[in-house]
Amino acid sequence: MRTRLDACLRAVNEVLLGKEAQVRLALTCLLARGHLLVEDMPGMGKTTLSHTLAKVLGLEFQRIQFTSDLLPGDILGTSVFDKDSGQFVFHPGPIFAELVLADEINRATPKSQSALLEAMEEGQVTIEGATRPLPEPFFVIATQNPVSSGGTFALPESQLDRFLMRVSLGYPARAAEKALLLGESRRDLLTRLEPLLDHDELRTIQAAVGNVRVSDALVDYVLRLVEATRTQPQFAWGLSPRGSLALLAAARAWAFLDGRDYVIPEDVQAVLPNVVGHRLRERADATGHGGGALVQWLLREVPAL
């Protein structure tokens, strides 16, 4: 399985140049059965990352462009009266794909944003009183521009907490951008990609990730990190139990990608910034999420042993 995952990583990295760390984090998030928030400027490759992952992993892909006039029914689907049968027939929305790109999620109203909540948390949606299961696997990648705030609706903490990880792609290195300028179109490369995993293999890998061993000492380290966020004065609030579960799940997936069936403190430290950064805020920061400095404090001050 590790060989197949390495092949997947190589294939994605051949399309999205110079972003090996972010690609690995995105695959970690998927293997941990979480959802991913990508915050970055336009044109950085957010859509390319999503589409490439879908192609390589053999997942059905749908993109939802979030706008101010988007309605929940545009995401979930709706029932339409069929005159031939005399009954209402449900037409599923794009949320029923296996990999869903929620593009510029903060441009939709809170009502439409919340339509994703049950889907992301429960793997199902309730429409017109009927509960409908979503595909398995199911992975949401949401994007937002962290700079342009005009006409946007900031995600509340309760919705940010639904994302297992947050990443930023950032500007490419000079060598990677030169290769991008001189190379083939990313669209042309995408059309030639072939699936490297099937659904059964991916589900088997996700199940194996859940069985990666964690020691009592490792769990105690995670608990010390979580307790520090709840007791130290610079934190506006502490991590919830969902946050601690997310940290452990991501560390398991990171260890699995490293070829191990057990978690070490370095796995926790590797995923910590992307798992907890969007969940924390400095007490003195009344306007935004200053999670970066808090994460560095945790890595520096909370001992692994």
Q: Rounded to whole angstroms, what are the CA distances from 219 to 140, 223, 224, 248?
A: 28, 6, 9, 8
What confidence tier does 290 reach under pLDDT thresholds 50, 70, 90?
Answer: low
DSSP H helices, 32-109, are 46-57, 72-76
Q: What is the pLDDT of residue 86?
A: 80
pLDDT (tens digit, 9 = 90+) per residue, 107-162? Answer: 888 888 888 877 888 888 888 778 889 999 999 999 998 777 667 788 888 888 89
CATH no., domain 213-301: 1.10.8.80
Structural tokens at position 267: 């796995």
Measured distance CA(30)–CA(202) in Å, rounded:
10
CA-closest candidate to residue 98, choices 122, 62, 73: 62
Domain residue ranges of the chain, discontinuous segments joined by +: 1-200, 213-301
| Class of domain 1-200 (CATH, top level) | alpha beta
State mean pLDDT over 16-41.
95
Q: What is the pLDDT of residue 82?
A: 80
> Does the pLDDT of residue 284 top 80, yes or no?
no
What confidence tier does 288 reach under pLDDT thresholds 50, 70, 90?
Answer: low
Q: What is the pLDDT of residue 267?
A: 97
User: The pTM is what?
Assistant: 0.92
Task: Indicate the DSSP class of residue 21.
Answer: H
Measured distance CA(54)–CA(62) in Å, rounded:
9
Measured distance CA(112)–CA(114) in Å, rounded:
5
Q: What contacts 241, CB < 8 A, 6 or more positions away?
A: none
> Does the pLDDT of residue 285 top 70, yes or no?
no
CA-closest candidate to residue 53, choices 168, 130, 141, 142: 141
Q: What contacts 35, CB < 8 A, 6 or more positions away?
A: 29, 120, 139, 140, 141, 142, 162, 163, 164
